[in-house]
Structure 1
Amino acid sequence: MQNRNKNKKSVFSGMKYLFFIALSFFMYSSCNEIDSEIPDVWVGLNIDLGIWNDLTVPGNSVYFPNAGFGGVIVYCEIQGSYYAFDAACTNEISTSCRVANEGAIGKCSCCESEFIFIGGTPTKGPAAAPLKQYNTSLNGNILRIYN
């Protein structure tokens, strides 16, 4: 009877280690997204959509130069749904190489990488990392951009 309990303990112990190894492998292998290297800069931008009414039209984007590391681009996906990204290119990482916005697409002025403003994913060029994304929240007519 003692021998049977010992075997159960060692099997259970071995299963614990196997579980943690498998869990660690799963966590590391699922993290294949490349993080942005854009420096963290405090962002607290409040946008009155009554004044910036271009942002109430789906598909439009607006550049705000005095926020974030390289400025902030705000994109209206559909009415009430917004994305906000730092305008610094993730390939150049410089305040002088800005992603210029044109509707749902942005293009770097230096390396010509292109990004789509739904997720900030690069679609063309040498940039591999997505644009640095900021949080958005809408309260009435005020769109808040923050990190």
Structure 2
Amino acid sequence: MQKKSNSRKSGYSGMKYLFFIAFSFLMYSSCNEIDSEIPDVWVGLNLDLGLYNELTVPGNSAYFPNQGFGGVIVYCEIEGSYYAFDAACTNEINPSCRVANDGVVGKCSCCESEFIFIGGSVTKGPAAAPLKQYNTSLNGNILRIYN
């Protein structure tokens, strides 16, 4: 009887193992970030922070039209650390539905979705995808935003 009990346990352990693998795969695939459908538009913006003093203050953001798909919002997290996002709302996918910046948050003028500029995540509203993020690099006083 002991052997049958052990074989049942090993069969049960195998099922638990398969269940764990399947569950892990499902969790991994469901946690993938939702891709933005904002069209890829070339961005190559160089900002002299000596001219844009407000961007040297943590918590401030600035909007730059005629960049990206719907303009670019640059946010200063802490001194020397910046985020840059396309200002087009990921729910509307329309350059005229712009996310208006107000410090660390932005709100869509059309659907009223709200986003936080630390990561671009949706905090409120119908938008499901985060804001389209651009790369940033700081070299001295020049902040470069690019894709």
Deviations 1:68-124 (A, max 9, x none): 000000000000000000000000000110000000000000000000000000000
- Aligned equivalents of 1:124 and 1:98: distance in 2? 16
Q: Secondary structure at the match of 1:54?
A: helix
Secondary structure of 1:144's aligned partner = strand
57-66 or 27-36, which moves further after superposition?
27-36
Instruction: Report the CA distance between 1:30 and its aligned residue.
Output: 6.0
Aligned residues: 127
> In structure 2, what is the Cα distance between the partners aligned to 1:72 and 1:134?
9
Could you state the TM-score of these two structures normalised by the residue count of structure 1? 0.81
Task: Find runs of 4+ consecutive structure 1 residues off by over 6 angstroms.
Answer: none
Unaligned runs of 5+ in 2: 1-17
Shift of 1:29: 2.1
User: Considering only aligned residues, what root-mean-square deviation do their CA atoms show, in Å?
Assistant: 1.8
> In the aligned structure 2, how far is the partner of 1:30 from the partner of 1:99?
27
Aligned equivalents of 2:131, 2:91: Cα separation in 1: 10
Superposition pairs for residues 76-115 of structure 1, below 5 Å? 76-115=76-115
How many angstroms does 1:26 deviate by?
7.1
Match of 1:61 in 2: 61
1:109-124 equivalences in 2 (<5 Å): 109-124=109-124
2:33 aligned partner: 33
Q: TM-score, normalised by structure 2?
A: 0.81
| Displacement of 1:27 | 9.3
The 1-side partners of 2:124 and 2:26 are apart by 30
- Residue aligning to 1:13: none
Tell me how far apart the structure 2 counterparts of residues 27 and 39 of structure 1 sit (CA, whole Å).
Answer: 28
Separation in 2 of the partners of 1:83 and 1:68? Answer: 14
**Percent same amino acid at aligned positions?**
88
